[in-house]
């Protein structure tokens, strides 16, 4: 099956990651997954939340937003509504949970790593691309801490990436664009480490229930895509 962009069912969209995309952040990338484009930045703050006082460890927190012009119709800013959009809140919590799961917060020290993911153009898979890009941003940020002698070792335990999968017209597909996602019978977002360990699986039967065979097929597809994304991350960081 060839898709609208001529990909096969198990093929990722073209991924491009540009490091050091902004001047002031401790780590920053522009990640492009097909027509989805997101700026991911990481900045270090030399203090911790009150609830961590006395625990001698750091924290990672994230914020996620879509710029007004990132979608076909203008998206209203959260500040104009006076509250954070529920979807944005869900996604930024997912990003934060993911990054905290692969870093030793005690080795980070009593400091906070702020991660911001700003979608400048959306065409599906924004939460998964945010995770894949944010990982590189935090890797660069903690490397700066080590280079300055503020930490003795890189506190990150595993590479991590994420991808979307789904069933469209009865066909399991990897890395859905917006058109595919909006017509999916079943869709999933999967977050996984390089060791094949799952951090989060978000699966929904949009038009009908999902059976075990479909679930396993989608997991296998997601693992293939995530391992390919991790190889991209490694190439970018080695450069």
- Cα(66)–Cα(88) distance, rounded to whole angstroms? 8
Tokens encoding 102: 């692969």
Over residues 131-173, the pLDDT tens digits come to: 999 999 999 999 999 999 999 999 999 999 999 999 999 999 9
Over residues 103-127, the pLDDT tens digits come to: 999 999 999 999 999 999 999 999 9
Where is the binding site for phosphate, in residues?
87, 125-127
Average confidence score pLDDT of the chain: 95
With beta carbons less than 8 A apart as the criterion, state whether 141 and 155 touch: no
pLDDT of residue 81: 78
Is residue 6 in a domain?
no
Predicted TM-score (pTM) of this structure: 0.95
Is residue 8 in a domain?
no
Where is the binding site, in residues?
87, 125-127
pLDDT at 199 over 80: yes
Backbone angles phi, psi at 198, to 5 degrees: -85, 135
Is residue 49 in a domain?
yes
CATH number at residue 127: 3.30.230.70
Is residue 98 in a domain?
yes
Over residues 8-61, the pLDDT tens digits come to: 999 999 999 999 999 999 999 999 999 999 999 999 999 999 999 989 999 999
Domain containing 35 equals: 15-238
Is residue 136 in a domain?
yes
Q: Please provide the DSSP assignment of 41-77 as one string.
A: EEEEES---GGGTTS---EEEEEEEE-GGGSSSPPPP
What's the number of domains the chain is made of? Answer: 1
Over residues 46-88, the pLDDT tens digits come to: 999 999 998 999 999 999 999 999 998 898 888 777 778 888 8
Residues 6+ positions from 44 with CB-CB distance below 8 Å: 26, 111, 112, 113, 114, 141, 144, 145
pLDDT of residue 83: 74
Is residue 3 in a domain?
no
Is residue 7 in a domain?
no
- Looking at residue 12, what DSSP letter applies? P
User: How sure is the predictor about 1, in pLDDT bands with cuts at 50, 70 and 90?
Assistant: low
- Cα(29)–Cα(21) distance, rounded to whole angstroms? 5
Is residue 163 in a domain?
yes
């Amino acid at each position: 099956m060839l898709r609208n962009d001529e990909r096969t069912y198990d093929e990722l969209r073209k991924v491009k990651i540009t490091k050091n995309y902004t001047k002031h952040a401790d780590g920053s990338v522009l990640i492009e997954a097909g027509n989805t484009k997101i700026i991911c930045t990481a900045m270090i703050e030399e203090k911790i939340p009150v609830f961590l006082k006395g625990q001698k460890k750091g924290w990672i927190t994230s914020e996620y937003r879509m710029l007004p012009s990132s979608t076909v119709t203008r998206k209203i800013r959260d500040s104009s509504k006076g509250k954070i959009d529920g979807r944005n809140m869900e996604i930024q919590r997912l990003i934060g949970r993911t990054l905290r799961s692969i870093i030793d917060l005690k080795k980070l020290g009593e400091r906070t790593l702020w991660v911001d993911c700003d979608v400048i153009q959306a065409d599906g898979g924004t939460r998964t691309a945010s995770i894949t890009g944010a990982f590189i941003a935090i890797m660069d940020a903690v490397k700066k801490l080590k280079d300055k002698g503020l930490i003795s070792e890189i506190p990150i335990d595993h590479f991590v990436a994420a991808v979307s999968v789904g069933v469209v017209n009865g066909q399991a597909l990897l890395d859905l664009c917006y058109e595919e996602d909006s017509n999916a019978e079943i869709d999933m977002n999967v977050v996984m480490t390089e060791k094949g360990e799952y951090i989060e699986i978000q699966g929904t039967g949009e038009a009908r229930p999902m059976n075990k065979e479909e679930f396993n097929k989608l997991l296998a597809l997601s693992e293939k895509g995530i391992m390919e994304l991790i190889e991209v991350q490694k190439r970018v960081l080695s450069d």
